[in-house]
Structure 1
């Protein structure tokens, strides 16, 4: 049995959806399904009941899940425990930062850097939410700001900011408007970034838009927020973005792009600070850092 088999099993068990688990693991669903079958063959136990519309853990799968999580937690804790035992004095620790972090959150990260300067040097590390969460889970990052939800039971999550979202639309189609309804958007295509770059929350948002009547879609593979702004500016699409003028996402706004609130569609993006529970708890190597972080981020921000 390989460690990857257990990691694949836990991902499917948490998502109860092979496609979503494959996305989380950055792989295709077909090889993931085969790896699970290989594990079932080795254990001589069926781990999942599969049907067209539902995936559920069997009794054997429910028994394996806490064991697999414990093994993965123990293995992934080895690097930081070794570093903690070997490092002298002041250390360098990394804080994950996803794209578009609000300046107010950046100021709090800088405050945390100042408060920990005597014991550790904090460095910022960029990445997408899924990648940053995985790096925290694997002990490569001490902390990370991440777009919620984050459901990994090995991690603790402290909500730190809620940002209101609006529709980024072609300005010439809505002159003089200060708000929109979902019905105003049905003639446009909803454009989102690649699945690997988009927080999980936007998958849910996409489904809510479809249920509300927005049916047309444009999926981009790698052009990022700048590419989305280009499509919106041409007048054929809209996207969902932060309403706050102070958000760095506003820097991607081009001519003929405006961001307006939606009257009948509530949308907010939440950001949390995440860390490994065993590292931040009593006796963990990040206990002091997490204690200071709780002080710095004690009052969640809203825009």
Structure 2
């Protein structure tokens, strides 16, 4: 197996559970760390549910119970001690991520540590760590089990062997890696958000309906989903946070349109709430 025998995931929300699923299916034993007993139960349920759905789709080669036996969920970071890789998957809040990464580094002294951030600076997070040479970004995409891409984000101090190992691990997950240097929004978020924000401005201006704007990209440019539907899948709150970060770093071309701010304020966050640019 080209993966570490033991992999840790700190954070068992939608993304963390998806990352755990991917490593379990590839054959690793996975330890998920969450904040409290309630979050532990929810994280375990997410991963189990994801595995069952994969079995129903015929994409799981082994029985669910057999795969799930390699999953451990708990609250003590000491459970990460034997991991060769630990992926942080907590919300996009710099201080929260930094604190979690420091806990991971203290608990798993020999592990490669990765952040699943979609836009925050890898170098900024690395500056708070004792072993920046063993740290990089592994940006997974939602939904992780179905997505074929992982963006490897290389910091200024990331060791070359760590990058090589990460590329091999992504291949072992049956996904494709792209490797980028640390820059605002990396490659994927920067391009994806730029397209989505322009689609929102067009919607605001009455150029076309959300459906027709999306169809222009799905049929005209062969995108699997249009920019507004993709925003609903990602989450409008997530897209807003990334856009605000990019606007600070790269200027007003990434300033979020009013329609995005209004929908987030109204709680219309996309598929996860049942309403965004579409009704789900």
Tell me whether the two structures share a fold, i.e. TM-score over 0.5. Answer: no
Relative contact order, CA 8 A, sep 6+: which one is greater?
A: 1
* TM class, shorter-length: under 0.3
Structure having the larger proportion of residues in helix: 2
Give TM-score, length-normalised by structure 1.
Answer: 0.26
Structure having the larger proportion of residues in strand: 1
Query: Which protein has the larger Cα radius of gyration, Structure 1 or Structure 2?
Result: 1
